[in-house]
A and B are shown apart, each in its own frame.
Chain A
Amino acid sequence: MARFLMRSVISTLVTMLIVSALVFTLLEVSGRDVTVQILGVFATPEQKESLRKQLGLDQPGFVRYIDWLVGNDWRLRDELGNVQTVFNEISQEPEWYVLLDDGRFVRHEVCSRVEDIDSGFCQPGEMLYLVRNEDASFFRENAGDVWTTDPETGESVFWGVDIGNRAAKWVEGGGDTAFVSTQTGVQELTGAAVQWIPLRKGLLRGDAGVSLKTTRPVSKTLPIRIRNSAILAGLAFIVVMPLALFLGILTGINEGSFFDRFTSVTSLALTATPEFVTGVLLILVVGIYWSNNWLPGLVEAGFLPDWALESFKVPTTTLADSPNAIFEKPKELILPVLTLTAVELGYIVRMTRASMVEVMAAPYIRTAIIKGMPFRRVVFRHAVRNALLAPITIIMLHINYLVGGLVVVEVIFGFQGLGKFIFDHSIFGDPNAVEAAAMVTVLIAIVTRLLGDLAYTFLNPRIRYA
C-alpha cells in the first residue's frame, strides 16, 4: 500500500510537470499579444514594447518557465542583495523588498517627482530609497552613490526593486522612456529602468504569480472561484447521486420493462445533449413559466443569467459579477445545478443499470432467489453491494469530465467559478492564472482517480495493491 501511494505521488508530480510545461509552451507559441489585451487595440508599438519589457516578456521562454516554477529571487541575489517578501497587512498581499545590512526594508526609485526636485531634496536621476515603515507606508531617502560600473558596457548601472515588485536595472544619467498603464490611461515616464524582471518565489515555493488580467495575485482570486465551483458541483452531486443510483438500480431490476426502456432512452438523450443545449433550453422553459406568471414566488431577477434577462427587456441585476454573489442570491445556483444534474444523471444511470443487470444475471443471485430469500433482501443485501463497485470507480473518473462541463455551464450562467476563470484567463492569454488553474484541475483529476482506485480496493476485497 505504501509503495502504491509513493508511486502515485511521484506519478502525480511528473504529470503536473508535463502539463505545466505543455500549457506554457502552448501559450508561448500562441503569438497572442497579451499587451494588446491590456493596453487595447489603439496602443502604439512603443507602448506595447515598453509594457512587454515591464512584464519581463523580453526574456526567453524557458527562463520564464523556470522563474514560474522555482522563482528567481535566488538567481537575482547577486545583483539585488538580500531580497525578501514582506506581507502587507493592508492589501493582504506580499511585497518584495531588499533587506539592507542595517535591518531596513527598502525599495528603489529614481528621483523624478517635481516636488522633490523643486525642494532640493534630490537631483533628477539620483537613486532614492523607499524605506518601509512598520505600517507598510514608506518614506523617501537619498540612497547616495549606489551605482556600479557594468564591466561589459562601461555604463554605470544599478539593480534594485521597484514599486511594482520587479527587479529593475537603472542606468545612471540615462534611462529609457517607459509607458505606464494607469487608471487614467497610459502615462509616459522618463528616467525609467532599462530592464525589468518581475520577482517571484515560484510555484514550488507557494507563489502562483500575479494575474495579468486582474493584476492581483492568483492565489487571492483562484481559491474563491474554486470554492464557488465546489459548491456548484457539490450541490449537483448531492442531487444526482441518490437519484441516479436509485433509477439505475430500479431499471436494472426491471430490465426490459416499459419503465426501463423509457428511462434508458431518456438517459441516453440527456447524455448525448451538450451542456450548452441543456442549459439554454432550461432557461427557455423557466423563462416561459415566468413570462406567464405561473411560478410567481420562485422566479425573479437573479434566477436567470443577464443575457437572458436582456432579451426579456427586464432590468438586469449587477450582482452576477461579484465572486460572492451566490451567497447573496442563492437562487442563482438553481439553474446551473439543474443543468449539471441533467447532464450527469443520464451517464450514471446508464452505468449503474448496466452493472446491476450484469450482477442480477449472476449465479449467486439465482441461488439466493431459489432458496427462497425475499426479493427485496436479495437486491439490497446481495446485488446492490456488488453492482455499485463499477459505477463508483467510473463516477470518480467522471469528476474529471465534470470539470469540462463546469466551464460551459459557468459561461452560460455567468457563474463566477473555476470554469469561467479558466475560460476568461485563457482567452486573455494570462499564463500565471491559466497555469495555476490547470494545476488545480490536474490535481482534481488525479486525486479523484486515486480515490476511485482506493474505493474500489476497499469495496472489493479481491483486489490488493502491492
Chain B
Amino acid sequence: MTTTVQPESAASRQPSRLAKIWNNVSIIFDSPVAMVGLAIVLFWFGMAILSLFWTPHDPNEQYFRDQRRSAYIMTYLPWIDLEDYDEVTRPKPEFLLGTDKTGRDLLSRVMAGGQVVLLKTRIPLPTDDVRRQDEISALSRLLDRFVPEEWDEVVVPGGVAIWGVIGSLVVGTTFGLLAGYKGGWTEQIVMQIMDALVAFPRIVLYIVVIASLGQGDLVIIIAITVTGAPGIARLSRSLALDIKTRDYIRAAETRGEGLLYIMFREILPNARGPLLVDAMLRVGYAIFTIGTLGFLGLGLQPPEPDWGSMVNDGRELIFSQPNIVIWPAIAISTLVIGLNLFADGVREELSRYQK
C-alpha cells in the first residue's frame, strides 16, 4: 500500500486509510486458528525468500554425479561409492537431510521448492538450444516477440499458485458479476459454460490442458485459472444477485453509469470479503494441484526444485532413503494446512464480526 497518512484527516479525527486497513486486518489476531495458519504460511514464505539469497548448497548442483568432475567429493567425501544409492543419499554432516539420487542437496531443494509456487513464475523463451524446445509452449513463442532478443527467460514476481488464483479471480468475477447483474440470457449462457467446466473433473482438465499446451509455469497458471474460474463465478454471481438490489446500484444506473463501472466499481468492492476468503482457500488448492501435477510428471519445468516432482523422483528409493519423499511431502501438506487454517480462522472471525 502506498497510501500516506494525510495530516488534515488526522486533524478531523477521521481514522486514516492506513488505520482503517489495519483495523480490518487486525481481526485475524483475535483468532488463534488464523494465527497458527499465518505462522505456518509465513514460515514457508520466509524459507522461499531466504532461499533466493542463501541455501546451504546450490539446489541444482549434482554433487555426486561424477567423481571426476565434482571437486566437492574429492575434497570432502573421497571414500564414497557413487554406485551405491544408499551411500550417496544418506544424510551427512554437509547434507543435513541427505541428497536425492542425483546428488542434489535435499535441504536446499526443499527450501527453494517454495519459490516457484509462491514467489516467481518463469517463462522460458524460444532459444537455439534444442534440448529446451519441448518445454517451450505456444504462449512463450508469442511473448518472445515483445522482449529483447538476448533474453532466454522472463521471470515474473509472484508464484504460479498466486498468479493462478489471480487469474481465476479476474475471469471468475468478470463472468460472475456479468451473469449476476445482467441476468436473462446472458446469465443462462455464462452459467451453462461455467457448469460445463465444473462438471469436467479438475484433474482431467489439467491433464488435457497440459498434454495439449505443453509443460511450463504459464500453462499451469492457465490450467488453474480455467478450473478455478467457475467456482468464483458462481460465488460472485450470487453476491451480485444480492448486491444489485441495493439503492446505490439504482443510483448509479440513474446517473447513467456504464456496465463495467457498475460491475467493478459498485458491486465488486462490496463483494470483496467473501471473494478474498475464497481466494485464500484457492491458493491452498492451487499448491495442492501443482504438487499433484508435479507428481504425475506434468508439473513445473525442471531442474529447479518443485515439491511434487521431488516426491515423484524420490519414490523409487522410498524404502532405502525415505527422506527424499518425506520432506517435500511435509512441505506441501503443512503449507496447504496453514493456508486452510488461516482461511478458516478469517472466515470464522468475519462471520462473528458480522453478527
Contact = CB atoms under 8 A, between A and B. Distances in A.
Given A23-B208, A401-B202, A411-B296, A274 B332 contact: yes
A307 interface: yes
A32 B211 contact: yes
A426 B207 contact: yes
A456 B100 CA distance: 51
Given A26-B209, A30-B212, A438-B204, A280 B329 contact: yes
Given A18-B196, A401-B201, A401-B202, A284 B333 contact: no
B200 A442 contact: yes
Contact of A284 (B198, B316, B319, B332): B319
Contacts of B340: 268, 271-272
B91 interface: no
Interface in B217-231: none
A11 to B, nearest CB: 7
Nearest to A283: B318
Contacts of A288: 319
Contacts of B317: 311
Interface in B192-251: 192-193, 195-196, 198-204, 207-209, 211-214
B279 to A, nearest CB: 17
A14 B214 CA distance: 29
Contacts of B337: 268-269, 272-273
Interface string A280-314: 11011001100100000000000000011011100
Interface stretch (B148-156, B172-180, B284-292): B284-292
Interface string A383-422: 0000000000000000011011101100100000001001
B333 A269 contact: yes
A276 interface: yes
A65 interface: no
A307 B340 CA distance: 32
Interface string A14-29: 1100110011001101
A442 B199 contact: yes
B214 to A, nearest CB: 8
Contact of B200 (A27, A284, A311, A438): A438
A419 to B, nearest CB: 8
Nearest to A28: B212
A314 B337 CA distance: 36
A276 B311 contact: yes
Interface residues of B, number: 45
B167 interface: no
B317 to A, nearest CB: 6
Interface in A236-278: 268-269, 271-277
Contacts of B344: 268
A276 B296 CA distance: 9
A195 interface: no
Interface in A428-451: 429, 434, 437-438, 441-442, 445-446, 449
A407 B201 CA distance: 10
A441 B208 contact: no
A264 B11 CA distance: 49
A74 interface: no
Contact of A15 (B195, B208, B333): B195
Nearest to B209: A26
Given A15-B199, A31-B138, A274-B288, A429 B211 contact: yes
Contact of A26 (B203, B208, B288, B332): B208
Most A-side CB within 10 Å, residue of B213, B284, B317: B213
A136 interface: no
Nearest to B314: A280
A31 B213 CA distance: 8
Interface string A228-242: 000000000000000
B319 A312 contact: yes
B45 interface: no
Contacts of B193: 18
B207 A407 contact: yes
B320 interface: yes
Given A18-B192, A26-B212, A268-B341, A307 B316 contact: yes
A427 interface: yes
Given A268-B341, A272-B336, A423-B296, A291 B204 contact: no
B318 A311 contact: yes
B322 interface: yes
A15 B203 contact: no
Interface centre among B195, B202, B203, B288 (most CB of A within 10 A): B203
B95 interface: no
Interface in B269-319: 284, 288, 291-292, 295-296, 308, 311-312, 315-319
Given A31-B212, A407-B296, 4 more contacts: A268-B341, A281-B329, A284-B322, A426-B211
19 contacts: A15-B199, A19-B196, A30-B212, A272-B337, A274-B291, A276-B295, A276-B311, A277-B333, A280-B329, A281-B325, A308-B315, A311-B317, A403-B204, A404-B202, A407-B204, A407-B296, A422-B207, A442-B196, A442-B199
Chain A to chain B: the 8 pairs with minimum beta-carbon distance, closest first: A30-B212, A404-B203, A18-B196, A445-B199, A276-B295, A277-B329, A272-B337, A272-B336
